[in-house]
Amino acid sequence: MQNIKTLKFAKSGYERVSNFKMEHWFLLIFLLAGFTFALLVPPGWNTDESNHSYRIQQLSQGSIFSSKTIDPQTELRAYGGNVSKGLIDLFNYTGSSAPGAVGDRDIKIKRRLYFLDKNLTGIRDNKEKQPINFSGAALYSPVSYAVFVPVFWIGTKITLSWLWIIIIGRIIGVIMTGLAFYFAIKIIPIGKWIILAIGLIPTVIVQAATVGADSLQLSACILFISYTTKLIYRYKKLGLFDYAILLALGSILVLIKIAYAPIIVILLGLPLLRKEYRNRQTVLPIIVIILLSIIPAILWTKFVSYIDINSNPQSNFTAQKSFILSQPITYGRTMFNTYFTNSQTALSNIFGSFIWDSTPLPAIYSYVCAAAITCSIFVNDQREVKFSVLEQRQKIIWKALLVFSALSSAILISTALYIYSTTYRQSSIVGIQSRYFIPILPLILLCLYGPKLSSQKTFKRSIFILSCIAISGAVISVYLRLYQSPVLIIK
């Protein structure tokens, strides 16, 4: 009798697991990997985490705008503000004190897992303030850090250590981004496996486990693209809820980084592709949503126009803008040199470039990620609508919109880096990182979505297996490089 009960329990457990949809497995893997990275990577070692943390702490004190200060390292004019000395001490201790600096290799080799270090767990906000330069984050609006500001404010009120404030912030970022991809997979009518494969790229998970603007940026972009695609492929009469969702997501993704404004343009696909949307009651609200999504970002850019120095003190914002407008052909050659002549490590390692250059993902795992992404283009979920729901002409228009949005965003990203991070009239753009192009990756892959492979089940399993291999490799690489002896180099 006991054996029968045990067998029934095992069978019911197997059935529950077998009923897991792809998005459930995704969320489980994403959260496990995200929490691991949140605990494994020392504070400040993720991209710009120290800069963003200073900005968040400034906002949590009620200061919306950054002010002039002096960079203690270069003694040059910079922008930042007075922040908790304890937070500065935390990043000093982990070797990432300089804005945007890579962690000190000697420090990482000497010390054990950082959250076990009593010297770190005891650093709290003692009300002592210190001016600090975080020019790289001074331009960001409060919306960029909406999920982290309450964590910093409450954490300091209940005297949590800065270490645990950072860890809690990271965990919240992981949960938010994981849920965003989870719901994106559920609602998008085509390319569900594309969204899943992108979400399981180690770079995406690490950025989600970072205190900064990237987690909210990724979440807003992926949900906006998925929701718009849903409305195009599955017609429904738009209501107030739909307009509110589109406006909220569009405003967030543009307000964080105005370079992603072209993503909003895919909304025009609604009236262009579906005659059901070609009426005044729908077209007018869509135009209003596009305008209301972009205008706040333009206004914020105007508010912070007094900031004329970024991470590169040699850059000249005004002169660079003037150069681009007065000599667009010359600037066009600069972009060509950047992407088609010079080496772009960030772009070639888009699946394995994270934690600055201190822990690059070994090439083999980047290839594994690329294989998983490639497989995702050629498989579909049984819940997806038929790709043929659109006529051939409509498909061409839809893909043209996706290409336009992706290409325009890439150009704006490059131009922003040329203005804010590149020396005046330099012949190539500096500061390009792979994470800047991840929000537009769904647009590119949806353009390629179409013909299906046979043996769907095999390729779907392969996507999960390949993604898990890449994630496991990333975790092992981070641990070995950050906490173990360096690999010997034989000359």
| Residue 485 reports pLDDT greater than 70 | no
Predicted pLDDT at 14: 39
Predicted pLDDT at 95: 74
Predicted pLDDT at 347: 65
Mean pLDDT for the chain overall? 85
Which has the higher per-residue pLDDT, 356 or 41? Answer: 41
At 70-100, the pLDDT tens digits run 776 667 778 998 999 999 998 888 877 553 3
When pLDDT is averaged across residues 261-282 and rounded to a whole number, the result is 93
At 123-144, the pLDDT tens digits run 899 889 988 888 889 999 999 9
The domains of the chain are located at 25-483
Predicted pLDDT at 455: 78
When pLDDT is averaged across residues 34-39 and rounded to a whole number, the result is 94
| Residue 387 reports pLDDT greater than 70 | no
For the ranges 59-63, 450-454, 486-490, which has the lowest average pLDDT? Answer: 486-490
| Residue 108 reports pLDDT greater than 60 | no
| Residue 481 reports pLDDT greater than 50 | yes
Among 197, 182, 192, smallest CA distance to 230 is for 192
The pLDDT confidence band at residue 315, using thresholds 50, 70 and 90, is confident
Which has the higher per-residue pLDDT, 374 or 119? Answer: 374
Predicted pLDDT at 426: 85
At 142-197, the pLDDT tens digits run 999 999 999 999 999 999 999 999 999 999 999 999 999 999 999 999 999 999 99
Among 187, 277, 273, 288, smallest CA distance to 243 is for 288
At 192-229, the pLDDT tens digits run 999 999 999 998 999 999 999 999 999 999 999 999 99
Predicted pLDDT at 346: 62
